[in-house]
Amino acid sequence: MNSKLYKKVFPFTHHFYPLHKYTKSDGNYVKEFFNALSSKKSVKTENLLYIHIPFCLHHCLFCPFHATTNRNSEDMRKYTEAIVREMDMFSRFEYIKDMTINAIYFGGGSPSLMPIDEIKKIIDSIKKCFRITSDCEWSFEGEPITLANEELMHFLKEQNISRISYGIQTFNQELRDKLEIVAPLDDVQKCLELAKKYKFDDINVDMLYYLPGQTIEDLKTDMENINRLGFTSIDYYYLSYFGFPERVFKGMEDGSFPKRPSEYDRYCMHEYVTNSMIELGYNKVTENIFSKQNEPSEFYRLCWGGGYGEYSAETIAIGCSGRGYINGYSYANTTNPYKFIDEVMNNEIPIFKVSDRLDEEENRGIVFFPRFLKISKSKIIGTRYFDFFKKLIDDGLMVESDGYYCLTTKGTFYSPSITIDLFESKQVEISDIWLKEYESNYDNKTCR
């Protein structure tokens, strides 16, 4: 794992770029974003619609996402009403009227917790408010307890949902208990059986490595189960530790909670997962996604600019804490679901933060290229990238092949660090501020 360029991996991954910077109190920046939406769209793009559902059955111990376990039926009804109204408000902008949606993703939280009639209202509103391609990829995320429901699965298939996704994380019951992953493994099996029965095009699951106390032997057991069950695609991420509460890290100190594996063990796990998934017949289609198909889902491709150096794909984000990218701006919605509801019902677009525009829009495609493992040489602008790629090649992190620059397995391990080095200088400044906040957290001072 030795690298001349990097002593360690950058501690988190930026999934949205350019980085959010300005709130409503920061002068005219949010106003400029809305002014841009009021103009006609000048360039045709591929487009993603993301719908965020914050309700969750249980908050897993490590989860860093914006979710709430307060999920009474009245809350869900009000939330549905709010996102239906938000879609209606958004669809009235001239810029949005010119967009056609290529992929739709229900994420969370656990959208499968929502009553079927509320899901139906949201789907009907999507079809009313937006133009949708005939081959649009519809993805629906859930958790195994509520997704293992034949009535729901039948309904989703009737609504032309083509891709089902749910989290497993690990098959090791002891680790599941420690991490408070409450879904029984029997429901994991039932979800798969129902998804196969209704012939969804892509049955996707989330898995994790680098868990507290996890070993290569644990991963071998996970691989045996993956091979036995035969999912279409697997998102296989290393665990980020910043979601854990302070009590977990104190437990790592006093021995009452398993410690995180070493950085060397993390690299060994990364290499083991990559090699094992390929041996099981999966293609490595992004830095973290393995699939029986040859390409990643449209959701991921469009979320990250369009893939392989493309940068123009846009994302409309609906719902609390949704993250989008429109007309050169990244933006984030209000994170608290109840504040979100209040804002929308007061006819406010619930934008919480927006970014600057990049000096060079093409930089977005270059920044996201590590996600897709390779980039066409024709997409590279500016000598600084070629000079940097030469350093990556010399360090064994990249190779040249058939008109592409491609990351090696070692290169994908350092992908978060490589990504930062591709940022524009203004974006590095924002990332540095976030890094200082991250490093001030308890989890980064102990238990390494």
CA-CA distance, 185 to 170, in Å (whole number)?
Answer: 10
**Residue 85: its H or E element:** helix 73-91
Query: Are 118 and 77 in contact, with CB atoms under 8 Å apart?
Result: yes
Picking from 179, 150, 158, 159, the residue whose alpha carbon sits closest to that of residue 167 is 179
Name the token pair of 420. 């930062």
Residue numbers in the chain where pLDDT is lower than 70: 27, 442-448
Picking from 191, 145, 141, 147, the residue whose alpha carbon sits closest to that of residue 165 is 141
Q: Distance from CA of residue 86 to its chain's centroid?
A: 22
108: helix, strand or coil: strand
Residue-wise pLDDT for 204-248, tens only, equals 999 999 999 999 999 999 999 999 999 999 999 999 998 899 999
pLDDT at position 443 is 57
pLDDT at position 437 is 85
Strands (E), 74-187: 100-108, 131-142, 163-169
Domains identified in the chain and CATH numbers:
20-355 (3.20.20.70), 373-440 (no CATH)
Name the token pair of 91. 């669809």
Query: Are 330 and 270 in contact, with CB atoms under 8 Å apart?
Result: no
pLDDT at position 445 is 46
pLDDT at position 242 is 86
